[in-house]
Each structure stands twice: as C-alpha cells, then as structure tokens.
Structure 1
Amino acid sequence: MADALVIVGASYAGVQLAASARDMGFAAPIVLLGDELHAPYQRPPLSKGLLSGKTSADQLALRGPDFYAEQQIELRLGVRATAIDPAARRVQLDDGSHLDYGWLALATGARCRPLPLPGAQLKGVHELRTLDDALAVHAALDACGPGKRACVIGGGFIGLEVAAALTASGTQVTVIEGQPRLLARSFPPMMSAYVAAAHRKRGVTLELGCGVQALQGDDGGQVRSVRLANGQVLPCDRVVLGIGVVPNVELAQAAGIECADGILVDGLGRTSAPHVLAMGDVANMVLPAVPGGPERMRLESIQAANDGARAAASLIAGQPQPLSAVPWFWSEQHDLKFQMAGIPAPGDQVVTRGDMGSDRFTQFYVRGGAVAAAHSVNRPAEHMLARKLIANRAVIPAEVLADPEADLKPFSTIPNFRPAG
C-alpha cells in the first residue's frame, strides 16, 4: 500500500478529504483512522440540539453506513497514530503495526484547553468536544432534576451555544467570561454588546470581566459552586468548560514538521514535509489574499475544514486548486442564527443594514471602500449574498449598503458596479 492515502483523524476534514479524493478520481487505497470508537459524526449539534434534547445521537452520522464500503475507504476506529517517519513514508500505530503511504493527511483536530485551577477535577466538571462529552453533560443535568443550575466558563461560541441549549432544557445558566465582553476574539464591541443583551433577555446570567479563582465541591467530590476572583460564589450543580482549544500538533512536531499555532500549511494543505498534508482545526492555513486581512490563520470551523480538505484532494488527484473560498462560520444560540463571512479588522467602517433590535440584521465591515466581512443575524439570504460581495471586493456606498430596500445583487457579480444616479 505504498501509494495509499492515509488520513489520521476521522473528522469533518478527514471524511471530506477521502470523499473528495474519490470524487476527483483518486483510485489508490484510502485508509481513514479514527481514535474514537464512534463512526465519524457531526460536531455542531453537540453544543446545540443534543444538549437541548432536540437531536439524538443516532442522527449525527456524517455519512450513511454504506458510504465507506461503496467508496472503498477503509475506516479503522479506535486506532491512534503514534509516530510519523516522513523519510520512509510510514505511520506507526498504537497497536504496534504500521502503514506505508503515498500521501499522509493529518486531520488531528484540537482538544479542549484544560482549566488550571483548584477543583477542575471535581465530579460534575465537563469538557465538551466529543460525542461522549456531550452525552455525559446531558445525562448529568437530567439527573439533577428541577431547578438545576449550571455555570459555563467561557463566553466564546461554544460556551454561548451550550448556555443557550441548557437554558432551553430548563437549566438556570450563568456564563462566566474573564474578558470584559463576550466573543472578544471574534466580534467587535457593538456585536459583543448585542450578543450579551440577547442572552440576558433569554434568561442567561452573565458574569463578565471577572476570572475564576476555584471550583468548590462537597465532601463527596461533587462540584457545588464556582468562586470568582472578586470573591463572589456562584452555586451550581454542574460546570461546563468552554475556554478554547489546543491544536493537536504533537504528532507533526515529533516528525519535524513546522508548526506555529497549528500545523503550517499552504493553500493546498501542504506541510513542510513532502507528501504530508494537514487540514481542519489543526491546520494554520494560508488564506486567500484580502487587503488588510491576515495572511494565514487557524480557522476552527466546519467550512474551513471542508474547504481545506477539497483543496488538498485536488492536489492528491493531480488537479491542484488552491483554497480560494471566503471564510465563513455560523452559530446557533437560542432563536438566533449567526452567520459570519470574512474576517473583520480593527479600523473597518461598520455599516448596519436592518434593525438590531428586531434580531434580523447584517453588519457589514468595509475596508478601503470594499466589503471585507459581514455578520448576519437571522438573515440567511443576506449572508449568502455577503459572501459573494466579499469575494467580488464590492465597493458599495455606505448609504446603499445600509438601506434594507436597496438591491445589492448587482454588486456581487459586476466588477466596480455603480448604481445609476
């Protein structure tokens, strides 16, 4: 199997790479390794529908049960790669066996950042990254009965999605965020303020700008409260951590592959080692050039994983097409669907289209006169249009962009379009 494609990580990126490689005519063997015992599954519902009870575990499969056999993809579950030898093109596995490869793809993802505080190991303190994690949180809160209380540590996307899902299930939720505002890494202040108001309106308590000092438990080792740095004590039955992730680069680093906040890759997923690719949450990718935008970034999203996997598959299949898609993301919180396109930068002009108070609007970010990014709330059609505007680097007068009645479609297809008058 010296010509095989070996994929380490049965994730969105790993499955998409295998599927796209086959679609593009790659005929050599494909081996997909997953260290979990579950077949590849969807992750977004873990912090949304699965916690609220709207989605069951048997609805999460990424592909149907016959897909892997039909596409001649050998799926090996419960198997972990332990070492890579790039010179020999060989992967060592934890059962003592090895696989030779023609191409190796690392889709090793990321793991939850640990909480380095007293009480972090108490019973009732949960991470949320895997299906087993989500099932454990759901079962634990069900066991608490009426009046159950949860503290969510971290006011990023995962933390806020968990807060929304638990609130919908009848849990009293407090979100604790050490930064003075929510989503500080992803949203500018105006959007952070909107998100905070939206969560408070829907029953979530927010503790912002105050770190956690310790988690406190009872004599049986069960978490019972969270003590903040200001001395405040928040009673709770469960704690869910949402303080970010750490990319799983150890396998690559040990093999001498260049890493910096992830595995460094180009627009085709190539790493510094010949015939070794990376994609998904572990990959620090070169991004399509946008004036004023970042040259590369590690994007933790399904869309980035799938887009990076398709680009890598095109290389493997001998039809190289570097990553060119505008980055986009989404999040569901309560009855709000957030859809983000492009990457805002400090100094962008902010233009609001629609009424923020209606929970249906888009904020456009204009850089050098052109649309560079957009954040939409409950405006899916406008989000799709925004992606085209960003790709076309559309130059739109602010008064037109802000007018909900103005037709923006011509700006998405006609370069340098100017409305009449």
Structure 2
Amino acid sequence: MAGNAGNAGNTAFTIVGAGLAGAKAAETLRAEGFDGPIVLLGDERERPYERPPLSKSYLLGTSEKEQAFVHPPEWYSQHGVDLRLGTTVTGIDPDGHRLTLADGSHHDYAKLLLTTGSTPRPLPVPGADLDGVLYLRRLADSDRLKETFRAASRVVVIGAGWIGLETTAAARAADVEVTVLDTAQVPLQRVLGREVGQIFAELHTDHGVDLRCGTQIAQITGSGGHADGVLLADGTRVEADAVIVGVGVTPNSGLAAAAGLDVGNGVHVDARLRTSHPDVYAAGDVASAFHPLLGKHIRVEHWANALHQPQTAARAMLGQDVIYERLPYFFTDQYDLGMEYTGYVDPDAYDRVVFRGSTESREFIAFWLAGRRVLAGMNVNLWDVTDPIRALVASGQTVDEIALADPDVPLGELVM
C-alpha cells in the first residue's frame, strides 16, 4: 500500500496509532467481516499494549510484561493486519486519502482511523529537563520507574491525579518515601470534587505519604545534571532521588489540526466517531466525541474508552448505523482500595455527593447529584454494582436521596 501510485481503487482501511484502541479497531474490522487490507501504523517499537498495568499491576510487579499486550505477536499476521511499528505519520491529506510518513514515503488509504492517543503534559518550571524527572505513558517509562523504585529511597510526585496517586502507591509498596505535591486543595479535586478527594487524601496519608496540597512549584533542583529535589514557591525545598510528574495529558491532535480537521480539546467527532471529513474517524484519548446522552462533546482518557470506542468507529467505517453512547467508566487500585466510577461530571456541575455505606471503612458508593438526578456513581471496595449504577445514571430519573443513601434499598429499585 505504500508508494506514490495514488488512491484509485485503494481499499485499505488504515489506523494511525498502534495502542489498545488501534488494535481493537483492527480486531473489530475483521470480526465484522471486512476482508480488505488493514494497515496499523505505530511509532513505538512495541506491539499494541494496554496502559493500566503500567501504573498498576506491572509497575507493582504483580503481573508480567506479556500480560499487557493486546494480542499475541502472531495474531496480526494470522488476521491479515499489516502492523508497522516504529512508523511515524507526519501528514494527512484527507481529500487525497494519503498519509505522509517520516521517511518521506506516502501511504494511500480508503478510510482512516486516528487513535493517536495523548502525551504527558510537561511541567513548565526550571529544571524540568533534568535527568531523573520522570513521566509515565509508555512501557519503557514504567520500566524506568520500576528501576527507580528499586534504587531510590525518596521520590517526589508532582500531581495528585490518577497517575500520580497510582505511582505513589507503587512507590510505597516498594518502601520508598514519597512526597506528593499538588496545587489543588485535595487529591483528584478536578475529577471527584473535595468530598471524595478528601477520602483519597486520608488513604495516602494513612500509608505514610507526605501529602502537600495547595502548593506551587518554583523549580526542580539538580546536581550534576540530575534532579535532587523540588523548590516550592514559599521557599521550602523537598529533597528527592527522582521526581515523577503527572500533571495531565494533551491529546495528540496535531496531525488532524494540520490536515484541516475540526479540533478543540481533541479531534471533534460525531456520535458515529466520524470527523469533519467523511472518510476520517477518531477514537480513544484523542477523540472529543459527541455523547448523545450528555448532549455535548467529551474527551475521555481512560482504558474503557480505548477498549470500546474503536469498536463503534470500526463498524461506522464499514457503513453500519451505530453510535457510541456508552457512559464513561474508569477504575483504580491503590493499596487496599479498589474502585470503579461510572458516569460523567464536570467539576462544577454537581450540587452534592450522597454516600451509601461507610467512608470510614472505605466500603461505600458515592453518588454525584445535580438536583435529584444522579450524574455519576463510584463504588469503593464494593463489587457487582456497576450495572445498576450505570442504569441509574443513564435513566436520567430523579431519585429519593434517603433511599439512595440506604444500603438496604436495592439500587435496581431506584430505576423505574
């Protein structure tokens, strides 16, 4: 499919981004009976893998690297998927149905799916380029963190979001001292709000973490080119053998923007995951998708989205009448706390949080409400309740708050 022969008669479905989303799209195309060429392009040297183990089981050492891969090595050839690793796409010509690659060659396609993911946001302070300032996005990053935890006695984690807190838990499991710094008043405040964020604050302090919220970073200090601490705006210095940065990600939408596709916070797609060009689709971290239930575009950076969204995109590419309306879902495991979250809440869009169960023993469900409508639910150390929580959120019905908080009232009875 490579070369400069033009796109006349080209039937190749091409996927740019060889992660979980790209691999699942290829899998779905074959499962749905597409027998034309499938080309999967990825700039990494590793075949497609899932990212949750990188900050969870693989980082903790409780799972092996091989378990992170989406498919066995032979799957791609067996299913006629032309997997090209170490291949970087530098340009898209949507009308010409052509990609430009980093080596100057071209690749023609019939339909294109962008699953280019996202990139960790760099910390904009002096010293951020020192050796020993670490980010987590790829398998090699997780390997380097594991090595760091074996050698270090103390680390600083900048950012108390999911990546920051999960790497903190892994560091503590390795008996490394950890100081966590964040500008918000509690961990995960931008995602969960103050009420539930405080529970995660107590979880980490109970496990020996020096948690410092409401702090501003002035610079990362270093000696001999290697990070050795963090200087705060108030003049306090926190010593460290390494600094881990987890301050969010930026969607890799540059290719789409340069090609003239509609972009904002990601690549804008409709409910069928089609971009502003009819033969170009996007899914996963990079996609800002219109959600029919929520009535607006949202971009979700979690595993479940990368798992399910490409399946809809692949079917849409085949001309099927499908839309993506699955509610956002994510999970975390930190120390002895496991949780699942279903739904979507903007930071200032809820009125209150209703708890069912015991927050002291960390066995509860938290519900975010606007008016008397449940926007999202999070079950902590309570299992097999995701389906009724999803039904409750999707119903859009108002609920009785007393019944919602009562563990003796089955969740299924709240949806009429």
TM-score by length of 1: 0.93
Task: Give the secondary-structure state (helix, strand or coil) at the position aligned to 1:213.
Answer: strand
Per-residue CA deviation, residues 238-271 of structure 1 (Å, 9 max, x unaligned), is 1111011111111111111111011111111111
Q: Report the equivalent of 1:152.
A: 157
Is residue 2:33 matched to residue 1:25? Answer: yes
In the TM superposition, what is the alpha-carbon distance from 1:60 to its structure 2 partner?
Answer: 1.5
- Give CA deviations for 1:167-192 in whole Å, capped at 9, x if unaligned: 11111111100122211221121001
Q: Quote the residue 1:276 is aligned against.
A: 280
Q: How many residues align?
A: 406
Q: Does 1:370 find its partner at 2:373? A: yes
Counterpart selection for 2:218 from 204, 213, 218: 213
In 2, distance between residues paired with 1:298 and 1:81?
Answer: 23
The aligned runs of 1:21-420 (5 Å cut-off) are 21-144=29-152, 148-218=153-223, 220-290=224-294, 295-345=296-346, 346-412=349-415, 417=416
In the alignment, what sits opposite 2:6?
none
For residue 51 of structure 1, what is the amino acid of its counterpart? L
Distance, in Å, in 2 between the alignment partners of 1:246 and 1:156 is 15
* Residue 14 of structure 1 pairs with residue 22 of structure 2: yes
* Cα distance, 1:394 vs structure 2: 4.3
**Aligned-pair CA distance for 1:65:** 2.2
> SS of 1:119's equivalent?
coil
Corresponding residue SS for 2:387: helix
Deviates more, 1:53-62 or 1:193-202: 53-62
Contact 1:22 1:71 in 2 (8 A): yes
2:271–2:290 Cα contact (<8 Å) kept: yes
Structure 1 CA distance, aligned partners of 2:233 and 2:61?
34
Does the 8 Å contact 1:371/1:395 carry over to 2?
yes
Mapped to 2, the partners of 1:248 and 1:304 lie a distance apart of 16
Q: Structure 2 CA distance, aligned partners of 1:185 and 1:76?
A: 38
AA of the residue aligned to 1:367: A
Name which of structure 1's ranges 49-58 and 169-178 shifts more when overlaid on structure 2: 49-58
CA distance in 1, matches of 2:387, 2:236: 44
1: CA distance between counterparts of 2:353 and 2:246?
A: 29
Aligned equivalents of 2:285, 2:187: Cα separation in 1:
22
Q: Contact 1:11 / 1:107 at 8 angstroms: preserved in 2?
A: yes
How many Å separate the matches in 2 of 1:234 and 1:370?
Answer: 44
**TM-score, length-scaled by structure 2:** 0.94
One-letter amino acid matched to 1:280: G
- Seen in structure 2, the aligned counterparts of structure 1 residues 368 and 24 have a Cα distance that, compared at 3 Å, is farther
Segments of 5+ residues of structure 1 without an aligned counterpart are: none
Q: Once the two structures are superposed, what CA deviation does each residue of 1:72-104 show, in whole Å capped at 9, x if it has no partner?
A: 111110001111111110111112222111111
**3-state secondary structure, aligned to 1:186:** helix
Mapped to 1, the partners of 2:64 and 2:176 lie a distance apart of: 19
TM-superposed CA distance for 1:58, in Å, is: 2.7
The aligned amino acid for 1:332 is: D
Contact 1:265 1:277 in 2 (8 A): yes
Unmatched tracts of structure 2, length 5 or more? 2-9
CA distance in 1, matches of 2:318, 2:171: 44
C-alpha deviation, 1:332, in angstroms: 1.5
1:286-342 Cα offsets, whole Å, 9 max, x none, are 11323xxx6111110111222321211121222121011111111121111121111
2:293–2:394: 8 Å Cα contact kept in structure 1? Answer: no
Alpha-carbon offset, residue 155 of structure 1: 0.8
* Structure-1 separation of matches of 2:175 and 2:387: 34
* Structure 2 CA distance for aligned equivalents of residues 133 and 162 of structure 1: 11
CA RMSD of aligned residues (A): 1.5
Whole-Å Cα distance in 2 between the matches of residues 244 and 119 of structure 1?
Answer: 18
**Partner AA of 2:117 in structure 1:** G
d(CA) in 1 for partners of 2:345, 2:275: 27
Deviation at 1:193, TM superposition (A): 0.8
Aligned residue for 1:87, secondary structure, equals coil
Provide Cα deviations, 1:19-40, integer angstroms capped at 9, x if missing partner: 1121122221110011000111
Q: Tell me the secondary structure at the aligned position of residue 92 of structure 2.
A: strand
Question: Residues 64 and 214 (structure 1 numbering): CA distance in 2 closer, same or farther, change over 3 Å?
Answer: same
- What does the per-residue CA deviation read over 1:151-175, in whole Å, with 9 as the maximum and x for residues that have no partner? 0000111101110111111111111
Q: State the 1:372 CA deviation.
A: 2.2
**Aligned letter for 1:123?**
D
SS in 1 for 2:264: coil
